[in-house]
Chains A and B, each alone.
Chain A
Amino acid sequence: MNRWLGLTILLLIPWTWVAGEDDPPPSLPPAAQQKVDFRKDIQPILEKSCLSCHSQGNHRGGLSLESRADLLEGGESGAVVVLGQSDQSLLIQLVAGHEPERPMPAKGDRLSAHQIGLLRAWIDQGLAWPSDVVFGFPRAPVRLQQPALPEGGADHPIDRWLHAYLRQKNVPPPAVVSDAAFARRVYLDLIGLLPEPSVLQRFIADQAPDKRARLVEALLARHEDYADHWLTFWNDHLRNAYRGTGFIDGGRKTITNWLHRSLAENKPYDRLVRELVFPTPESEGFIKGFVWRGVVNASQSTPIQAAQNVAQVFLGTNLKCASCHDSFVNHWRLKDAYALASVFTEQPLEIHRCDKPTGKSAGIGFIYPELGQLDAKLTQRERQRQLADLITKAENGRFARTMVNRLWAQLLGRGLVDHVDDLDQPAWHPELLDWLAADFIAHGYDLKHTLRLICTSQAYQWPAVPMQDGGSSSKTAIVFTGPTVRRLTAEQFLDGLATLTGVWPTRPAAVLPNAMKLLFESPVMRDGSLPIDVDISDAEVLRLHVRDGGNGQHFDWANWGEVRLAGPQGTLKLTELDWLSATTGHGKVERNVNVNQEPLRIGGTLIEWGLGTHARSEIVYRLPPGYTRFRATVGPDTGAVERKTPVSVQFQVFVSPERSLYVRSVFLHDDELSRAMGRPTRDQVVTRRESLATLIEALELTNGKILDQQLRAGAAKLLDRFQGDGSAILDHLYQTALGRTATEDERTIAMTLIGTPAQAQGVADFLWTLLMLPEYQLID
């Protein structure tokens, strides 16, 4: 502390104290006669006396001494060095004290005559500065190194790199994990689901040497499951949500449909990013950013948001600090952020420093000019296309490196570069990182290719190691010997629960295109009746909705009269078909009577048979084959109309594919449970989720209403499915949740809880204990 206090005091002392008033203006010490050596003679002077004010975010007087080019560029007073003429150089005059009101160095000891002589000689001799010495923040090269795979050793290229790496660290390569552990990992990583017990059994029994590779292949081929799972990852990265701040008045736009489709068809990553940066109306939500109503800080205008997010997500660098002022955490200047942001506006933005206008513009520019520049004469739209080109061009190693590092971090728990959003930090294996990036480019930015490559490596299959603190610097370096233990995400946890119980949500918050097709919609009905006759050929699931007409839900009794399917199979009354689910705003859905259990009447006419419900209501059927028409007569129940209360209902008929019956949690709105488990609200880009459990989360898991309700419903369904056989339920749950059978000990403990005969409460309680086991929640 005292040290820093001392420094503070020094800073507060006026310059003149250092200068001393009675010093005569010194003449210049002579230049040294020797040939100067930068590292030996100059660098120590710069480090001791100059850099604290003239590098890494501090550029006093506008002068940076981070590189030779910066030095030559000079500062606010113009050039500080005249090459070959040290006596004419401002730098020398200042260090010699020729300007008493600004002596240099401004703090610390004055330079000796010898040191000044060295600086003079350095300038006179041409200002030699080795190119690998940069005093700025770390900067990774934009281009990839093209490292050659090490000779010999393992077949798999990743393993070849890592075997060589471990040899060097004197660590023997570990043995790979069991089939069951591998299957659990790869299922959760590629499609986000638990392995199906039957598949797992076959997989374990399989003797083929390539079975692990084939399992990876089979999972990657489950396009929809893959897309459902990776939608979470991309929603976080692109802060895509179905509701959230900004949506309230159209200041934000979802990209769910485009995103899910892109994942399902495994759109190459370069194309995916092109379509985000140079978007179609469907994919423009990311660049559009979001608008909070009211005046926002200049550093959060939507073009700046776009620049920040493009830089962070696709290029692995932080422009947030530089959006307000020259950054203190990396080399970006305020003007860099503004130049990039101006790509997204018609006119270049006026630079605001800490929210204050400066009257200056940074023009339009790309933050990695070595890849090319942007043409300021183009229209905004054409410029965005040009930016998309620059970001995704093959020479941009950062683009590929950032992405493969994210995948590595996702699958192995920790990136090759630990900070997944700061690719200027050192990688613990730079060659492997660049090799993976080059390979990614060579394979057409195929995300599944890199996932396949990682999952089939032995390294991915090594036993998990505990999560550790520590980084890549030499003191805290961690030797990679396998993936770190990871925890299920909220989405994996909830989908796992649904897999275990068979109770899936059926109502998505995000409706995907073609997932729900509207066949019929009535006007808002206050009385009367309407016939429905619509084509349901090829449909798999039928959904009958009744919406509240908009005046509240009092006595909104709604009847589906003579509701039936017709087709080559003849006619099937829906009152005789079991529904999959039925919800209603009041009471329960009734057959052949209204929701108040009185005879069905529509438009004053008695109806013999049909369904009586109350807005809002959804009745879902799986459609049997052989029917092509859906027919019904609908209307508010006459009994409700006669009560003279304002009845208003609206009828809708939807069809949807079978998949829509198993809605994965990624498609639901966030709630107390999923938020507690780490699902972000997506106001900001999130590239890593917290995974350590917390008390708030544990309380939600222990007695939260949402989980409790799911446990009850799950227990009921399990009892039904296994006909009350507690032992079978136990076997099913252990196999599915943990991929193994219970030991005798475990069986005893579990069966005591489940009860004999099995009790609903017991099953629910056992389900809870299973879900809370570290063995279930952790991926190791």
Chain B
Amino acid sequence: MAHKSRLSASLTRREVLQAAAVGSIAALTGPLWAVPKEPEPPRLLPRRSADAVILLWMAGGMSHVETFDPKRYQPFAPGLKTADMLCTFPAINTSVDDLQISEGLENIAKVMDRATLIRSLVLPDLGFILHTRHQYHWHTGYEPPQSVAAPHLGSWMAQALGPRDPAMPPFIDIGQSYEGNGEAEELKAFQTAGFLGSEFGPFRIPDPRTAVEAVRPPKGMDAQRFKNRYDAWQRLAQASPKSSQPKEKQKEALEQSLDRAYRLMNSPAAKAFDLHLEPQPSFDVYNTGKFGLGCLLARRAVEAGARFVEVSTEYIPFLGWDTHENGHTRLVDMKKQIDRPIAQLILDLEKRGLLDRTLVVLASEFSRDALTEGKPGKPVKDQAAQPDVITDLKHFGMHRHFTAASSVVLWGGGAKPGFVYGRTADERPLAVVENPMTVTELHSTIYHAMGIPPTYHAVTEKRPFYVTPDGKGKAVLDVLQQG
């Protein structure tokens, strides 16, 4: 990796050399100024272990100890001290010897033998902990705000690799609605292609239950009418006295994009969005609600040629994984939402021979603990009211935002099967004690699996903007089958 970053440094110097050379001509012929050259076009790695990514986003802060990194179980009893509450669910066995995860994830437990479990992600310090701030960082690799709009991971994938099937939008973002969401603006700030341009932006499906509406004619318009409208448009465009004018980029882009949209809606790929075409038994397995059907949609979209699909449990302040109270009872429900569909997604991908080449990533913006808000020794402003002694069930659970450890699961796509990376302490502060991994390293690893080096970049405002900050990310090859 050291060589890679040196290489990028030398490219910068080369630009300078070239610019200087132009400068010399300038000197001979008067002040004709140098134009700095664009850096070498970014290159991809010679091979990749995954062709597609599905990101399962546990929005709101999923506690590691309550899910994939269980600690000593303490059942609820009035008088329980918060300090003694490490974990509110018992641990269960998984398909991997000696690996236990949390009760409520029984189906996922059965597919852990296909997974690498990373127990040592350490989230950055971004000031006092805020969901959308960490989500922005997690999805772009950059801390907000930025002076140029930073692209979403999925947009980089779309830009670097394109769709796997030309009829499919390469980047599909499922499950996050903006309507009535108090932090919609902050969500929009990272659910974007940023400076890469909207061509690489997310194809948004806020509600997978109505996904098909995104790829079929407007409500109330039948196929024949839709076709007639499109045909009339083509004929009118042709009949316009201006149609004989020479080819023009704007005009071509407009005509081609409308043509592509029309073809997408009539393509077999579009059927991926119609969840009712899924056999009923399979549909039922996934149907635990919006998130579960999002997993089904993700599977269908990847089958149909999508490159990057994100499925979110949806970030809504104080809902979902964002448990400021009633943590235990609410997690029972959250686990029900995710357990069956995620396990089924893995099995289905495997059955279709797609798991080997599809990297499924489960992650969250940070974890939760009952005591520590922030990092041990670096506490930040408390945002949840947690008494020292618990008398009410609503205080039973992990209610504070914790950044010193978080669990990430990688399935397929070249990740090592049945492998655990990193470790956290069994007692408070429950922080990472072995193989800490940063978000930048995790990103680099995901990019690496997709054949994208950490130095991959695009140029904006004449400067390179890298997929990892300054192009300095390092993939953690230990979690991949082949570096």
Question: Closest CB of chain A to B267's CB: distance in Å?
Answer: 12
CB pair A702 B20 closer than 8 Å: no
- 17 pairs from A and B in contact (CB 8 Å cutoff): A4-B40, A8-B3, A8-B6, A8-B10, A248-B182, A248-B185, A329-B462, A422-B462, A683-B149, A694-B201, A695-B264, A705-B213, A743-B239, A745-B239, A749-B236, A750-B232, A774-B237
Give the residues from 684 to 702 in chain A that come closer than 8 angstroms, CB to CB, to chain B. 684, 690-699, 701-702
B145 contacts which of A52, A56, A290, A486 (Cβ < 8 Å)? A290
Docked complex Cα distance between A752 and B14 (Å): 62
> Is residue A39 within 8 Å, beta carbon to beta carbon, of the partner chain?
yes
Instruction: Tell me, rounded to whole Å, the shortest Cβ–Cβ distance linking A254 to chain B.
Output: 13
Given the interface pairs A694-B199, A695-B257, the reply to whether A329 lies near B461 with Cβ below 8 Å is yes
User: Quick check: A695 and B27 within 8 Å, CB to CB?
Assistant: no
B236, A746: Cβ atoms closer than 8 Å:
yes
Tell whether B133 is near chain A: CB-to-CB under 8 Å: yes
The distance in angstroms between the C-alpha atoms of A683 and B462, with both chains bound, is 20
CB of B217 within 8 A of CB of A466, answer no
Q: A690-B198, A692-B250, A773-B237 are in contact. Are A295 and B260 (CB under 8 A)?
A: no
- Check B7 for interface membership: any CB of A closer than 8 A: yes
Across the interface, do B33 and A487 meet the contact criterion of CB distance under 8 Å?
no
Cα-based distance from A780 to B129 in the complex (angstroms): 51
Within 8 A of A (CB), among B448-474: 461-463
Contact code string A45-62 (vs B, CB < 8 Å = 1, else 0) = 001000110011110000
Contact indicator per residue, chain A 237-270, by CB within 8 Å of chain B (1) or not (0): 0000001110110000000000000000000000
Stretch at the interface among B241-249, B323-331, B386-394: B241-249
Known contacts A702-B261, A750-B236: A691-B144 contact under CB 8 Å: no
Interface: A769 (CB within 8 A)? yes
Complex CA distance for A135 and B461, rounded to whole angstroms: 21
Instruction: Confirm or deny: B197 has a beta carbon within 8 angstroms of a beta carbon on chain A.
Output: yes
Complexed CA–CA distance, A676 and B217 (Å): 18
CB distance from B82 to the nearest CB of A (A): 26
Nearest 10 A/B pairs, CB to CB = A138-B33, A294-B127, A295-B127, A698-B257, A698-B261, A708-B218, A769-B233, A466-B248, A694-B199, A693-B257
A52: chain B residues within 8 A (beta carbon): 13, 16-17, 20
Q: Across the two chains, which residue of chain A brings its CB closest to B193?
A: A696
Of A320-328, A446-454, A535-543, A620-628, the one with at least 4 CB within 8 A of chain B: A320-328
Residues in B with CB closer than 8 Å to A745 are 239
Whether, in the assembled complex, A284 has its beta carbon less than 8 Å from a beta carbon of chain B, the answer is no
In B337-379, the 8 Å CB interface with A consists of none
Say yes or no: A690 contacts B237, CB within 8 Å. no
A681 near B188 with CB under 8 A, answer yes
Given A699-B203, A768-B229, check contact A58 B461 (CB 8 Å): no
Contact of A296 among B143, B197, B235 (CB under 8 A): B143
Known contacts A487-B250, A684-B147, A774-B250; 20 further A-B pairs (Cβ under 8 A): A56-B36, A138-B34, A247-B185, A294-B126, A295-B126, A300-B145, A305-B147, A471-B35, A684-B149, A695-B169, A698-B260, A699-B261, A701-B261, A703-B265, A705-B213, A708-B218, A749-B236, A765-B229, A772-B237, A774-B237
Knowing A52-B17, A293-B127, A485-B251 touch, does A703 contact B36 (C-beta < 8 A)? no
| Pick from B27, B144, B169, B246: contact of A43, CB under 8 Å | B27
Taking a contact as CB atoms under 8 Å apart, the answer to whether A694 and B239 are in contact is no
**Inter-chain contact A300/B146, CB cutoff 8 Å:** yes
Beyond A11-B10, A672-B204, A745-B239, is A43–B185 a contact (Cβ under 8 Å)?
A: no
Q: Which residue of A lies closest to B188 (CB)?
A: A681
When the two chains form their complex, are residues B251 and A774 in contact, meaning their CB atoms are under 8 A apart? yes
Q: B232 near A752 (CB under 8 angstroms)? A: yes
A132 within 8 A of partner (CB): yes
Tell me if B169 and A56 are in contact (CB < 8 A): no
Bound CA–CA A4/B37 (angstroms): 15
B203 CB contact (under 8 Å) in A292, A696, A753:
A696
Tell me the nearest residue of chain A to B170, going by C-beta. A695
Report the minimal beta-carbon distance from A300 to chain B, rounded to whole angstroms: 5
CB distance from A272 to the nearest CB of B (A): 23
A768/B250 in contact, CB under 8 A = no
Contact check, B236 vs A770: say whether CB atoms are below 8 A apart.
yes
Contact A699–B233 (Cβ < 8 Å):
no
User: Does B77 sit within 8 A of A, measured CB to CB?
Assistant: no
Residues of B within 8 A of A694 (CB): 197-199, 201, 253, 257
Q: Produce 1/0 per residue, A711-750, CB < 8 A to B.
A: 0000000000000000000000000000000010110011
A11 to B185, alpha carbons, bound, how many Å? 46
B198–A421 CB distance below 8 A: no
Smallest beta-carbon distance A411→chain B, Å: 16
Partner of B6, one of A11, A678, A749, A761: A11
Q: Are A299 and B254 in contact (CB under 8 A)?
A: no
B236 x A769 contact (CB < 8 A):
yes
Chain B residues near A208 (CB-CB < 8 A): none
Q: A12-B6, A55-B16, A773-B240 are contacts. A294–B189 as well, Cβ < 8 Å?
A: no
Q: Judging by beta carbons under 8 Å apart, are A47 and B24 in contact?
A: yes
User: Which residue from chain A places its CB closest to the CB of B199 in the assembled complex?
Assistant: A694
